[in-house]
Structures are given as C-alpha cells and as structure tokens.
Chain A
C-alpha cells in the first residue's frame, strides 16, 4: 500500500522539478501541404523565463505559437508542459493547464464591455464542468460571478485600465484594445503566457508600458513567450531568445548574441541594426 509520505517528492526531486523546463518542444512540425511552416523545431522554456521568439515575416513564429497552444495544427513532434505530454490535447484542455495567449490581431467581443471581455478569461475554472451544470448554476449562483468580476478588475488594474471597464472595445484605441487582451490573459491566472506581437500598432509610450508590465510579471515568476518584431523591446525584456527562419530554429541564446548571429542578421538583412549590449548589462 502506498502511503502519502511515500508519494511526497523528496527535496532533491523537488529541486529537480523546479529546475526542469516548464515547456519542452521536441521536433515540432507544422505542415501546410508540402510547405513546412514549422520545420522540426525543438526548444525548452525554463520556469519563470521571459523568452522572445523572433524571425522575419513568414518565418513560422505564429504557426509555432498556434501549435504550442494547440489552437493551430500540429503535424508532428511532441509538446510537453510541466512534464505532461499534451500533443494530442484540444486547445480548451490545454488552456485549462494554465496557458493563456493573445493573437496577432485584436480579438475582443464588440458587444461585451471591457470588464466582460476580461471576465471571459477569469471564467476558465467555471467552464470546466458539464455545460448543463454551468447552465443550471447560472440560474442561482452570484458568488462565482463576483469572483470572475474581482479577478477581471484586478487584471484590468494590472494593465492600468480599471477606469475603462464599462467602455466597449470599439471606443478604445488599438493599443488600449491590446492591453485589454493582455488583461484577459492575466485574469485567467496563467502559468504560461503566450503573446503574439502584443505591442504591434502601439505608440512608443504604450510599448514601454507593456514592456514594464512584462518585466513585472517576470519578476512575479510568470513564464512568458513573446513574439515581437521590435528587437529593441526583445532585447530589453527577454532572458532568452529563439530565432526562426523558414520554419527552422536558426539561433537561440541571449538577445544580443542572437541579434548579432550572422544567420539571424542574414534573415533580417536590411531591417535590423547590430544590437549592442548595454554597458551596465
């Protein structure tokens, strides 16, 4: 008979688990007919790391992110989160593992207020049961609704939009809409945050605010993968960078090393300047 004491991991086991990567991709392939959008990519993301995913247009960044979150197709390879293989799982099941993601374009509900849009993120735990049960509980339960509301308000506060809660998305600027999307992700209390070009279309001031927010989240221990074209932002916030080109992982490492990698520079030629390491970094 197995006892509770026997099941509890030992200190070295706990240390090993903490040191193990949170997300592991092995030989991931995303094929669109004969074209490989993601071509046998293997990588690992450590716990609490803020990783950048860079590459020119069409390099496979969004396809990889879609495959990782299982919103998009996965043609081959395996995905592992916290030691659990989830390659064959559906996207909603993966989201319940603790994934939250934003998309390349703004995807908010126009007929819901900002608060309601963010509450959708917080609703995650309430939707894990049978639909009939959720439906019947909607007739009576107010406590759960209050919890979703509180989580959404907290997330809105984190992105500095608490005073916009009653506005509708169409009345907000593009940059503000993107912040609402980030708040929606945060309201779900994610373990892994996937952000697909969250600062696209934002002013430099707004970009700085988002960068500061991501740094704060990193300090709180949230693991993040950030897809961005803005290399200066990647350089300023990330711990580790993966560079893709034609679907292949062509470089990885510290942002300055990756940005100065000849293969990466060749992929970006004419677009990127040499990134110099901060004198204080």
Chain B
C-alpha cells in the first residue's frame, strides 16, 4: 500500500493542485459567471509566491500575499466587467489572462521574462496539500448547501427571478468572482512550490483549456465534479500509456478529444451529473417495483 502511494505521490500532488485550478473555474460557472480569470490569478499566485520566496519572505506570508493580491485584482476586475454576461464576459476574462501573460513576459528581472523564475525553495508535502484542498472543499461545500446554494442555483439560471426573490445577484456574482480568483491564486502558489518554478506558460491558453476541460468533464454544478474532472484529465495520458498499445501514446490527444466530445454530448452536466442521473433512475425503478 505504502509502495503504491509512494509511486503515485507525484500524481496525487498534481491532481490536488490542479483541482484548485478547476475549482476556480467551477465556482464562477456555478454562479452563472462565465469567467476564466481564475487562470490569470493562478499565474498571479505563482509569480507572487515565487518573487517573494526568492527574496526570502516566509512561505506562509507569501501565500497569503498571493491570495490577497488576487482578491484585490479580481474585485477590481469584477467592477469593470459587471455589465458583461456569457461569451462577452468569457472573452474579457481571456483578455485579462493574456494581459497577465504579457505583463509577466515584460516584467524584466522581477518576473524573469520569458524564462520565468527558477529556484523557488518552498517544499510542500502531500499531507499539506490534502489539508489545503480539504479546507477549500469544505468552503465550497458550504457554498453549495443551504441558503447560499439555493440562491446561487437561481442566480445562475434566472437572474431576474433571483432579484425578485430578494437575492442581490450583483453581490453574489462578485463574491463568486473574487473567490474564484483567490482559489486560482492559491493553486498557482502551491504549483510554484511543487515545481519550484513560475513560468509565463502559467497564464497561457492551454491552461485555460485544461481548466475548462476538467470542469466540463467532471461537471460544473459541484466542486465534486471539478475534483473528478481534474483527476480524470490528469490520469488520462498515464492511463492510455499504461494500456501498452504500441504507438497509442501518439494518439492520446485524439482519445482525449473524443472523450470530451462524448461527455459534452451525452453528459451535459459532466460525469457527476451522469452519475446523479443514473442514481435517480435506479431510485425511481426501485420505487416503481416497490409500488404494488
């Protein structure tokens, strides 16, 4: 068992850190905010931690600073983007990510330019990652249940109805936007600690695609879906190679694309939504059979 855990430790660590990236996108989508700004905040988190760490600042202080800066940036961004919805908002947040990327590349010695920052020395253990991700999951669980969970459901699906029910949609959307940025930055900081580097690719388009894919595959209605999506998408390349089919690893992108297409078509609420639907079908069948 210990041998198994040791051999998969890097994978578990990668899943945990990337789950935070997926959460940052999932929180926004669940609130009906089509924001991908979590990716820009991921890069802000990675660079803030790296810059401070390389200057000898305490790791915990660096993490707090990374999250705080992302919160402020997200809040200001939410004020600017308050009137945008749907694809327009999505494109505006992609533009924000590009701006972060350009700022990083042109940041000179501070950001290391195109080379990024190397030599970050802030080791993190799997247990520490489990605790951090566990706390974030608890926070998201609280957000999905009870009064706030119901309110966010309505804000996502029917904004004018939400307003008529005394729900301050602007405040809830802003809160989701800022929380998304905070969790993205936390993930970015932990990723820099894990890898020991911060790179301009942290704000690159492929990161957006990966983050969105994890959430779509797992399901954006719950943090559990984002966690499932992160684990599956990161395992997939390893899984395909482990099948041992000659030359299969060259085709993994095709399998990956087909899988996403299949899930998007047949499970629009992601794998979690599919599992929930299956469970409700089983429950209904059980009720039918029990009814004389």
Q: Which residues of A contact B (CB under 8 A)?
A: 69, 71, 90-92, 95-96, 99-101, 103, 107, 109, 111-112, 116, 119-121, 123-124, 126-128, 130-132, 134-136, 138-139, 141, 144-145, 148, 184, 188
Task: Say yes or no: A116-B150 contact (C-beta < 8 A), given A131-B172, A135-B143, A139-B138.
Answer: yes
- Residues on A with C-beta less than 8 A from B166 are 92, 95-96, 123-124, 127-128, 188
Q: Which residues of B contact A (CB under 8 A)?
A: 138-139, 142-143, 145-151, 153-154, 157-158, 160-172, 175, 221
Question: Contact between B150 and A119 (Cβ–Cβ < 8 Å)?
Answer: yes
Question: Contact between A127 and B167 (Cβ–Cβ < 8 Å)?
Answer: yes
Q: Which of A101, A107, A112, A123 contacts B147 (CB 8 A)?
A: A123
Question: Contact between A123 and B175 (Cβ–Cβ < 8 Å)?
Answer: no
Question: Contact between B161 and A90 (Cβ–Cβ < 8 Å)?
Answer: no
- Residues on B with C-beta less than 8 A from A184 are 165
* Cα-based distance from A128 to B165 in the complex (angstroms): 11
Q: Which residue of B lies closest to A103 (CB)?
A: B161
Q: How far is the CB of A136 from chain B (nearest CB, A)?
A: 8
Q: How far is the CB of B167 from chain A (nearest CB, A)?
A: 6
Task: Say yes or no: A92-B163 contact (C-beta < 8 A), given A111-B153, A131-B175.
Answer: yes
* Cα-based distance from A280 to B146 in the complex (angstroms): 50
Q: A119-B150, A120-B151, A135-B143 are in contact. List 19 more A-B contacts (CB 8 A).
A: A91-B160, A92-B165, A92-B166, A101-B164, A107-B161, A109-B154, A112-B153, A116-B150, A120-B165, A126-B147, A127-B147, A127-B168, A131-B168, A135-B142, A135-B148, A136-B142, A138-B148, A139-B142, A188-B166
* Cα-based distance from A175 to B117 in the complex (angstroms): 63
Binding site secondary structure of chain B: helix
- Residues on A with C-beta less than 8 A from B167 are 92, 127
- Residues on A with C-beta less than 8 A from B145 are 138
* Cα-based distance from A95 to B167 in the complex (angstroms): 9
Question: Contact between A145 and B153 (Cβ–Cβ < 8 Å)?
Answer: no
Q: How far is the CB of A250 from chain B (nearest CB, A)?
A: 27
- Residues on A with C-beta less than 8 A from B163 are 71, 90-92, 95
* Cα-based distance from A90 to B149 in the complex (angstroms): 22
Q: Which residue of B lies closest to A123 (CB)?
A: B147
Q: How far is the CB of A196 from chain B (nearest CB, A)?
A: 11
Task: Say yes or no: A138-B151 contact (C-beta < 8 A), given A92-B168, A131-B175.
Answer: no
What are some 26 contacts across the A-B interface (CB < 8 A)? A69-B164, A91-B160, A92-B166, A95-B163, A95-B166, A100-B164, A109-B154, A116-B150, A120-B151, A120-B154, A121-B165, A123-B151, A123-B165, A124-B165, A124-B166, A127-B151, A127-B168, A130-B171, A131-B148, A135-B139, A135-B148, A135-B175, A138-B142, A138-B146, A138-B149, A188-B165
* Cα-based distance from A107 to B171 in the complex (angstroms): 22
Question: Contact between A95 and B165 (Cβ–Cβ < 8 Å)?
Answer: yes
Q: Which residue of B lies closest to A171 (CB)?
A: B284
* Cα-based distance from A53 to B265 in the complex (angstroms): 45
Q: How far is the CB of A219 from chain B (nearest CB, A)?
A: 26
Q: How far is the CB of A91 from chain B (nearest CB, A)?
A: 4
- Residues on B with C-beta less than 8 A from A120 are 150-151, 154, 165
Question: Contact between B138 and A145 (Cβ–Cβ < 8 Å)?
Answer: no
- Residues on B with C-beta less than 8 A from A124 are 165-166
Q: Which of A71, A123, A135 contacts B150 (CB 8 A)?
A: A123
Q: Which residue of A lies closest to B174 (CB)?
A: A131
Q: How far is the CB of A229 from chain B (nearest CB, A)?
A: 22
Question: Contact between A109 and B153 (Cβ–Cβ < 8 Å)?
Answer: yes
* Cα-based distance from A124 to B150 in the complex (angstroms): 11
* Cα-based distance from A148 to B147 in the complex (angstroms): 9
* Cα-based distance from A116 to B169 in the complex (angstroms): 19
- Residues on B with C-beta less than 8 A from A103 are 161, 164
Q: Which residue of A lies closest to B269 (CB)?
A: A111
Q: How far is the CB of B156 from chain A (nearest CB, A)?
A: 10
- Residues on B with C-beta less than 8 A from A128 are 166
Q: How far is the CB of A255 from chain B (nearest CB, A)?
A: 27
Q: How far is the CB of B276 from chain A (nearest CB, A)?
A: 9
* Cα-based distance from A101 to B162 in the complex (angstroms): 11
- Residues on A with C-beta less than 8 A from B142 are 135-136, 138-139
* Cα-based distance from A112 to B145 in the complex (angstroms): 12
Q: How far is the CB of A141 from chain B (nearest CB, A)?
A: 8
